[in-house]
Each structure stands twice: as C-alpha cells, then as structure tokens.
Amino acid sequence: MDIPRYERLWLGIGIGTLLLFLLITGYMGFSMGLHPTDGMERTVEPEKVTRTPPFDNPGLERIGPNEYVLTSVSFVFGYDPKEVTVPAGAKVHFRVTSRDVIHGFYIPGTTVNMMVEPGHITKQTYTFDKPGKYLVLCHEYCGSGHHLMQGTIYVKG
Ligand code: CUA
C-alpha cells in the first residue's frame, strides 16, 4: 500500500479543481468586466426603491474630471430626475431601476438603450461628445401615459 501517493493524487485533484474553479470565475469576472453595459446587476426591492441607497437620492454625481454616475428611477410615467445637464464629453454611467413596472430607457442618437425592470439595476455607460438636447424615452409599453414618459439630458458645449 502506498498511501502517501494516494493522498498526493487526491491533493492534486483538489488543487486542480480549485485552480479550474478560479480560472472559470476569473474569466467570467473578466469577460463581464469587459461588458459592464449589458448588465442587470444586483437586485433592489421595487417597493423599497425610494428608501434604498442610491435610489433614495436619484441624481447626477460627479466621480471624475468629466465623468458622472446618473442614478435614475423610472416610474409611471416619468424619470427621476427628469432633467440633468452635463458638459460636452461627459462620460455618464447610467444606473437605473423602476419602482413599479417595466420601462424603457432609450436615448435616440446614442447607443443608450436599456430595459428597466423592477427589482433590477440596469447599467450602461455613454460618453456625450456632441452638445445638444437628448431625450430619454420609454420604449416599453407601461400604461396609459407611456407616450408621455420622457426625460431630458442637456449636453452643454
Ligand atoms: Cu414607461 Cu413606457
């Protein structure tokens, strides 16, 4: 009987499995890091949205020289905040949830196009190089006022 050898085998398998696991999770983390824009993130209870940070205080937060996080809450039938202004070239990280039903968060003329689901935080990043007035439109039918649901982002040149 060669017990040490037997143990080494199992030790090897154990370490191999661990390394494989680390590789897989590392790779997933890496590939998800490359696409932070399509992510639905951690959950937030819809009925507690207005009391759950950061959504208890929606708005624009500056996090760099020309970089911002826009925390936005969708509801029937609008967005909170309704309007924000950023300088041209601003990189904006959108962080959006809904406090009631499914909404859309679509900015024509940009690549910003999100579905906003209650219970989820949807994220996307966009750099507003061109000054102008950008509408935020709901493109998921959400009820009688759906067509009235919009917000505005002003990009100052
Ligand atoms: Cu909100 Cu359509």
Q: Which residue would you say has higher pLDDT here, 147 or 14?
A: 147
Read off the pLDDT of residues 65-112 as tens digits, 9 standing for 90 and up. Answer: 999 999 999 999 999 999 999 999 999 999 999 999 999 999 999 999
Report the alpha-carbon distance of residue 133 to residue 145 in Å, rounded: 22
- Domain 41-156 in this protein, CATH class: mainly beta
pLDDT of residue 17: 76
pLDDT confidence tier of residue 6, bands split at 50, 70 and 90: confident
Read off the pLDDT of residues 137-156 as tens digits, 9 standing for 90 and up. Answer: 999 999 999 999 999 999 99
Report which ligand 1 atom has the smallest distance to the Cα of 143: 2
Is pLDDT at 34 greater than 60 in this prediction? no
Report the alpha-carbon distance of residue 39 to residue 25 in Å, rounded: 17
Catalytic residues: 75, 77
CA of 130 relative to ligand 1 center, distance in Å: 26
Model's pTM, two decimal places? 0.73
Of 87, 92, 100, the C-alpha closest to 146 is 100
Q: Which residues pair with residue 105 across a beta bridge? A: 114
pLDDT of residue 19: 75
Q: Is 138 in the pocket of ligand 1 (CB under 6 A)?
A: yes
Report the alpha-carbon distance of residue 66 to residue 71 in Å, rounded: 16
Q: Is 99 in the pocket of ligand 1 (CB under 6 A)?
A: no
pLDDT of residue 66: 98
* Mean model confidence pLDDT for the chain: 88
pLDDT confidence tier of residue 4, bands split at 50, 70 and 90: confident
Quote the tokens at residue 156.
């100052």
What is the mean predicted confidence (pLDDT) over 28-45?
57
Using the structure block, give the residue that is written with the tokens 């937030």: 44
Q: Which residue would you say has higher pLDDT here, 37 or 137?
A: 137
